[in-house]
């Protein structure tokens, strides 16, 4: 095969990969345990550089999304997480989008500004210990955490978080009858 044929083949492969990356993701892979289990008390910093912990969110339902700016599927789902926070965020619910970027708060803030994310707060674990502590195979990984800090279910891979069926599913956990 000639050099130009290899180059053409390379362009075709890149084109197919790009087309696949632009395709809408299929239904999310939801993993639900029989009974809720405690989520480790993760520590991270907020957009001001202050030390925070997951325990501070007790009393609220939390959608904990672990992601990074260099992860293409993570980048794709961030706008839908922002819209979910805008739709449901408040005293009973918060999306905690926890970046594992080593570049820290500055990198994540720049990313949020570029994507015009308005509702999500900046949270960063530059040590990336969160992944191991959650037993996650990779990113993105998202956990729905109840008011007592227990994992109700998790999604591995990207999802469309502002889809009506996803909003309804999360809203079910916000009702008083969901407490058990």
Residue 97 has pLDDT above 80, yes or no: yes
- 119 against 1, higher pLDDT: 119
Q: Looking at residues 51-72, what average pLDDT do you find?
A: 97
Rounded distance, CA 49 to CA 129, Å?
A: 17
- 13 against 105, higher pLDDT: 105
pTM over 0.95: no
Considering only 14-23, 81-90, 154-163, which range has the smallest mean pLDDT?
A: 14-23
Burial of residue 47 (number of CB atoms within 10 Å: 0-12, 13-18, 19+): middle
pLDDT value of position 35 = 79
Rounded distance, CA 142 to CA 164, Å?
A: 18
Contacts of 91 (CB under 8 A, 6+ apart): 60
Rounded distance, CA 166 to CA 134, Å?
A: 22
Retrieve residue 15's tokens. Answer: 């084109």
Domains of the chain (ranges plus CATH)? 28-178 (3.40.30.10)
Residue 32 has pLDDT above 70, yes or no: no
């Amino acid at each position: 095969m000639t050099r130009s044929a290899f180059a053409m083949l390379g362009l075709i492969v890149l084109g197919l990969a790009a087309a696949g990356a632009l395709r809408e993701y299929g239904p999310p892979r939801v993993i639900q345990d029989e009974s809720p289990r405690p989520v480790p008390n993760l520590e991270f910093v907020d957009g001001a550089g202050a030390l925070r912990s997951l325990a501070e969110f007790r009393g609220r339902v939390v959608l904990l999304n672990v992601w990074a700016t260099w992860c293409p599927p993570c980048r794709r789902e961030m706008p839908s997480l922002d819209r979910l926070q805008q739709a449901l965020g408040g005293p009973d619910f918060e999306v905690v989008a926890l970046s594992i970027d080593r570049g820290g708060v500055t990198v994540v803030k720049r990313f949020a500004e570029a994507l015009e994310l308005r509702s999500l707060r900046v949270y960063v674990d530059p040590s990336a210990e969160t992944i191991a502590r959650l037993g996650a195979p990779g990113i993105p990984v998202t956990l729905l955490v109840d008011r007592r800090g227990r994992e109700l279910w998790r999604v591995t891979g990207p999802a469309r978080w502002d889809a009506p069926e996803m909003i309804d599913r999360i809203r079910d956990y916000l009702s008083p009858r969901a407490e058990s």
